Structure 1
Amino acid sequence: MSLSPAWLDELRARTLLSGLIGKSVKLQRAGREWKACCPFHNEKSPSFTVNDDKGFYHCFGCGAHGDAIRWMTDQRGLPFIDAVKELAQAAGLDVPQQDPRAREKAERASTLHDVMAQAEAWYVEQLGRAEGAHARAYLQKRGISEALARTFRIGFAPDSRTGLRSALKEIGDEKMVECGLLIQPEEGKRDPYDRFRGRLMIPIRDARGRTIAFGGRILGEGEPKYLNSPETVLFDKGRTLFNLDRAAAASRKADRVIVVEGYMDVIALAGAGIDEAVAPLGTALTEGQLERLWRLDPRPILCFDGDGAGQKASVRAIGRALPFLEPGRTLRFLTLPQGQDPDDLIRTGGRAAMEALLETPEPLVDRLWRHEEAALPLDTPEARAGLKQRLAEHSRAIADKDVSHQYFQEFRQRVDEKFAPQRREWPPRGGAGGAGGNGGGFRPRKVQDKRGNWVAAPAPPLPGTHAVNRSGVGPIEARAILAGLVRLPDSIGAHAEPLSHLHFADPAMDRVRSALVEAAWRGEALEGDGISTILLRVGAIDLLQKAGRANGLAFSFQRGDADPERARRDLGEVIDVMLKRSELDAQIAAVNASFRNGSDGHGWEEAMEEQQHLQRERLETERRLSELREQAEL
């Protein structure tokens, strides 16, 4: 089919836009235009205008804008070609001819739509007969009123192998088999029989409201509980959402679309006045269904049961969605109380209970973090590295580079906050001895403050105590580490964990460190020209020219003639030792601060012992760094 611009212009010219929009929106004349409260967002005073002369609508509140075709795709949720066909039919305009095969398929589909409409009418009729009494009782038990059943055209299939076949015998078996209403035995010699028997029948419609399939709910014992039509010329299960035809318009007014797990959840929400809900058809959300959802709302809310199956379904949906995330296009999640589904919640708490949960849906990034954080114990370095790896893989799955980078940065920040080294406060609160005695602890000497009060005098730091280097690793050592990483790029990924917690004093070198760690987390190529690309990206291509034996430093990993395995081992140890030194500096600073601030004297002896212990460990790190430098000279 070829739709030329001239033909589309003719279609627009033959369509009275105010008449089209006025079918679902109350318009008021305003001079040469029409005005109304916008159907795309909630408002109390009209800001939505329709101009028939210019052939477009516009909302000054939310910016919605378009012509007749855009109205059909955005407000009605129709695919473009379906919107064109419906407008052309109303305007008496012939759609350009398709190729013979496509035309034949369209004609056959049109005929099959009629078959499905007749089947739906027969099922609805059976629900009202005597044989449908137990089906009506089931609806009443589920809280589904007669009016709600009529809205969704719910019917009943009697427990008979030939009930529908006999009722629609004039249609013929072939078309009914093609629609999925009858089952043709494989041997082909036996007569076909009704697919749906003894089931509550729920029509599945396309975006234009035409019945294309059925979902049958068994009323007694048996499996499967729900039986869907097979895929047919009309029914593409992976691209269809139950209640899409009704939810499309409702979602524009509610400014949201809700995805629930089943038919009954959708119907229950509609009974409570929440019409913007849809459901996949018994399987995990597909890419095609996600695209349809995003066409209605860039942030649909996925509502899953609180049980394990519901949580697994949410994770599967995230996996499907990640590659297609874009700026502004995401998913949100709502977890129901354990053991409840939307139907249960509505029956026990009404609409208010559901709306209370819908007010604060969980962002996709939070749901994914929560899942991975709880997936496995995180009590070992290997487990924490595994968490980082899984989060990095999720970030890399996002095709949009900017969104991928934002997820990577967000996950990295959360990991850093969760596993940041814990610092001890000295002196300990509530130390031994109480307010009246020393309790066996050391009592410091007293001095008078400016007001004449006697207070504990702060003890001076021990000789040789290092205050924390708040600006980070010094430039000489930082340059040595960067030189080693550039020479041995496979070490970046191996030591990304401790490197992410180091901080270099020189801002330019710290940017290089951060860029190398992020590249490793994203899985970028670091061999060959990979490092040069990263250095060029952060403007540091000439930064490492002075690396090597600068100022007497000569670790093995700075030497081109060193054994590669030894160089890798030494580089890893230097990184670990420097991180340990930074942590010790922070702990020593905390102890020293307790002395400077003064205290009531309790716990000072323990604090001084801790200070000495930390200082010994600090000296040990310096000794080990010296050994690594000396060994490199051998």
Structure 2
Amino acid sequence: MRLNEDFIDEIKARVRPSDLIGRSVPLKRQGREFVGLSPFKKERSPSFFVNDEKRFYHCFASGKHGDIFTWLEEMEGLSFMEAAERLAGEAGLRLPEPDPESQQKTQHRKSLVEWMGSAQAFFLRALRSPQAEEARLYLKSRGLTGEDCVRYGIGYAPDSRTALKDELVTAGAPVSDLIECGLLIEPDSGSPYDRFRDRITFPIHDPRNRLVGFGGRALSKEARAKYLNSPETPIFHKGSVLYRYPEARKAASDPKQDIRGLIVAEGYLDVIALSRAGLEHGVAPLGTAITEEQIQLLWRAGGEPVMCLDGDSAGRAAAFKAADRALPLLQPGKTLRFAFMPDGKDPDDILREEGANALRAVFRETRSLADLIWEREVLVEPLDDPDRRAGFRRRIRALVSQITDGDIREEYKREFDQRMDALFGARPQSGQRGQRGPWKPGKGVALGATAELRNKQSRQADPTARLGHLLLVAAMEYPEIAASQVETLALLRLGSLDRLRDAVLDACSSGQFVQTDTLRAELADAGYAAEIKRLDGERRPMRAELGGMEASPEVRAKAWMRLAHAYMERSEAQTRRDEARARLDEELKQADSERFRQVVDAYRHESSRSESS
């Protein structure tokens, strides 16, 4: 059986040479390439190079050169078909059944792609025509120049039923091909006509960088659809491509950028805004909720793609849908993170109104998938009685059970158990000795037990102390809480952080409103920079405990008071245990057996009271 070129190219697009070759040859990144010692000859200085972008390897010591297919043929002695079967499995593909018409179909798809290229050339010329004056004015109002339109391939489909059809048929295109690739619409009666009319056009390329479709933005307010995409065709499958994916993947592969994953925006102009702000690794789904195949595409370019969404209810609903879709697919090092636009603005608005720096700042602090799921479930209903809390636990466990990877499932279970203990109070269980702390990936950190995670675990060994840290971090993050709860905050015994607490009280009890940034700057100038930096890792879980980013000041204040009372109760219980333990130690020294028995009984009674509180 002979494989067609499309299938071979699809395998090459899905399997990175550095991943395959790196399993048997230690490789180090060097610029855009990977380098290692030759697997074909003994050498001391590395002369073996692997290039993911160009999809080949080259050995200067032996002169051998090839791709992922020839690598398996060379190193494992496989035939081409055996190598193809192995690689297809890694790519998540099945070898096609023998098809005598396969080559003919491949050639036909090539011709459809060629007609799409001809359509793009037509749209680019049309944007410079007198008919496109309104389109050019609109683009200018969005901050786009003529150079931008050329760079991003933006064109214009004239307000005519047959302008594109006439152009391409004259160039030799069969009308049936133009219908098949989605450029023309075939009505039930009458002649086929142009699909895109009086619209600004955006070219859509597949992961192999072939032009396979278009998106069109209507200029007329009477248009039935503001945005229109190409239909499903033999070369275009909406759920399998992302706008500007080839360019974004290339940008993400640049080692100088330290990019953890692509940014997923909502529309074409948002992606272009990101690019103009220097964030070249932006992509967009095509008007639909992100699909499993698109998530896998994102992970090919980096393990931590960031979903960039509006901060309104629709944006949050889209974020929750993406989180639910990704949950069963999670693997070590492959997750989603989330960034929400402020004040209902989109990236294009921020770029035009506030500049590139403001847009880049949005992505400096993203939220984890675990945070998003937790916040959604916490806010479903008040958790003020046992039945609701039981329902909450059941929902969380049902979500965790969807994760197919065992290691990730266990980490999420441990993380959510820790959060529930902090929210409702820890439930004593047998066999807890040596149990690890929660998994809390920081900014730009892949899933797994990293050094940062282990440091956080050591800091979180005492859940009561950690609760005190959360309360203090909340007072610094939301100074209005510190100002309105001065007496309660002053009563919190925070050990080595008492001086920082007092400094917060001094700054917030003056009667004047204090901004978060101003407060942090004043505290840092007063010598507390190290303490603030050490506590910064608690900012994200603190927000979750207070109801999430969108919680109202009233909700945050109530949550803070509830946590503060829980902290004081636990602290008092710990004090009682410490006092009982001290008495026990004293009686041990006195060696009075009857008195010792009485103190032991009292200590056990006090411990049982504390654990039940």
Instruction: Provide TM-score, normalisation by structure 2.
Output: 0.57
Amino acid paired to 2:412: Y
Mapped contact 2:57–2:67 kept (Cα < 8 A): no
Pairing 1:90-129 to 2, within 5 Å after superposition: 99-129=99-129
Are residues 1:177 and 2:179 paired? yes
Pairing 1:57-72 to 2, within 5 Å after superposition: 57=49, 69=67
Segments of structure 2 that go 5 or more residues without pairing to the other structure are: 18-27, 42-46, 59-64, 71-79, 85-95, 436-567, 583-601
1:116 CA displacement: 0.6
Write the distance in 1 (CA, Å) between the matches of 2:69 and 2:351. 33
1:394 CA displacement: 1.2
Mapped contact 2:377–2:392 kept (Cα < 8 A): yes
Pairing 1:19-30 to 2, within 5 Å after superposition: none
Which of 354, 359, 365 matches 2:359?
354
Amino acid paired to 2:202: I
Are residues 1:229 and 2:222 paired? no
Pairing 1:587-602 to 2, within 5 Å after superposition: none
1:226 CA displacement: 0.4
Aligned to 1:570: none
Bigger radius of gyration: 1
1:210 CA displacement: 2.1
Q: Deviations over 1:409-442 (max 9, x none)?
A: 110110110111xxxxxxxxxxxxxxxxxxxxxx
1:98 CA displacement: 7.3
Write the distance in 2 (CA, Å) between the matches of 1:209 and 1:143. 27
Aligned to 1:144: 144
Which of 381, 384, 392 matches 2:386?
381
1:129 CA displacement: 0.2
Pairing 1:374-453 to 2, within 5 Å after superposition: 374-420=379-425
Mapped contact 1:144–1:268 kept (Cα < 8 A): no
Write the distance in 2 (CA, Å) between the matches of 1:293 and 1:208. 14
Write the distance in 1 (CA, Å) between the matches of 2:329 and 2:29. 35
User: CA 1:154 to 1:592, structure 2 compared with 1: closer, same or farther past 3 Å?
Assistant: closer
Which structure carries more helix by proportion?
A: 2
Aligned to 1:319: 324
Aligned to 1:243: 244
Write the distance in 2 (CA, Å) between the matches of 1:142 and 1:68. 46
1:97 CA displacement: 13
Aligned to 2:428: 502
Q: Deviations over 1:294-331 (max 9, x none)?
A: 11101111111111111111111111111111111111
1:36 CA displacement: 9.7
Q: Which secondary structure state, in structure 2, belongs to the residue aligned with residue 204 of structure 1?
A: strand
Mapped contact 1:326–1:400 kept (Cα < 8 A): yes
Write the distance in 2 (CA, Å) between the matches of 1:399 and 1:323. 6
1:213 CA displacement: 0.6
Aligned to 1:39: 32
Amino acid paired to 1:340: K
Aligned to 2:283: 278
Are residues 1:291 and 2:296 paired? yes
Mapped contact 1:144–1:271 kept (Cα < 8 A): no
Identity %: 38
Q: Which secondary structure state, in structure 2, belongs to the residue aligned with residue 168 of structure 1?
A: helix
Write the distance in 2 (CA, Å) between the matches of 1:209 and 1:585. 60
Q: Which secondary structure state, in structure 2, belongs to the residue aligned with residue 297 of structure 1?
A: coil
User: CA 1:375 to 1:233, structure 2 compared with 1: closer, same or farther past 3 Å?
Assistant: same
Q: Which secondary structure state, in structure 2, belongs to the residue aligned with residue 375 of structure 1?
A: coil
1:232 CA displacement: 0.2
Q: Deviations over 1:140-167 (max 9, x none)?
A: 1001121111112111111111111112
Write the distance in 2 (CA, Å) between the matches of 1:399 and 1:302. 22
Aligned to 1:155: 155
Q: Which secondary structure state, in structure 1, belongs to the residue aligned with residue 353 of structure 2?
A: helix
Which of 322, 327, 334 matches 2:339?
334
Instruction: Provide TM-score, normalisation by structure 1.
Output: 0.56
Mapped contact 1:322–1:397 kept (Cα < 8 A): yes
Write the distance in 2 (CA, Å) between the matches of 1:50 and 1:199. 54
1:233 CA displacement: 0.5
Mapped contact 2:327–2:402 kept (Cα < 8 A): yes
Aligned pair count reads 393
Mapped contact 2:159–2:198 kept (Cα < 8 A): yes
1:355 CA displacement: 2.1
Mapped contact 2:303–2:333 kept (Cα < 8 A): yes
Are residues 1:367 and 2:372 paired? yes
Q: Which secondary structure state, in structure 1, belongs to the residue aligned with residue 133 of structure 2?
A: helix
Aligned to 1:456: none
1:51 CA displacement: 7.9
Q: Deviations over 1:346-389 (max 9, x none)?
A: 11222211222222221211122122222322222222222211
Q: Which has the higher contact order (CA 8 A, sep 6+)?
A: 1
Q: Which secondary structure state, in structure 2, belongs to the residue aligned with residue 501 of structure 1?
A: coil
1:336 CA displacement: 1.3
Aligned to 1:489: none
User: Comparing 360-369 with 291-300, which one deviates more in the overlay?
Assistant: 360-369
Write the distance in 1 (CA, Å) between the matches of 2:30 and 2:577. 66
User: CA 1:595 to 1:52, structure 2 compared with 1: closer, same or farther past 3 Å?
Assistant: closer
Amino acid paired to 2:120: E
User: CA 1:51 to 1:586, structure 2 compared with 1: closer, same or farther past 3 Å?
Assistant: closer
1:102 CA displacement: 2.0
Q: Which secondary structure state, in structure 2, belongs to the residue aligned with residue 366 of structure 1?
A: helix
User: CA 1:50 to 1:393, structure 2 compared with 1: closer, same or farther past 3 Å?
Assistant: same
Write the distance in 2 (CA, Å) between the matches of 1:403 and 1:196. 46
Write the distance in 2 (CA, Å) between the matches of 1:410 and 1:330. 15
Write the distance in 1 (CA, Å) between the matches of 2:282 and 2:327. 22
Amino acid paired to 2:283: V
Write the distance in 2 (CA, Å) between the matches of 1:383 and 1:115. 59
User: CA 1:587 to 1:193, structure 2 compared with 1: closer, same or farther past 3 Å?
Assistant: same
Q: Deviations over 1:480-516 (max 9, x none)?
A: xxxxxxxxxxxxxxxxxxxx71345xx4xx68xx9xx
Write the distance in 1 (CA, Å) between the matches of 2:572 and 2:312. 44
Q: Deviations over 1:584-617 (max 9, x none)?
A: 99977757989999xxxxxxxxxxxxxxxxx9xx
Write the distance in 2 (CA, Å) between the matches of 1:185 and 1:247. 37
Q: Deviations over 1:106-134 (max 9, x none)?
A: 11101101111111111111110000011
User: CA 1:238 to 1:50, structure 2 compared with 1: closer, same or farther past 3 Å?
Assistant: farther
Aligned to 1:308: 313
Q: Deviations over 1:263-314 (max 9, x none)?
A: 1101111122221111000011101111111111011111111111111111
Are residues 1:262 and 2:260 paired? no
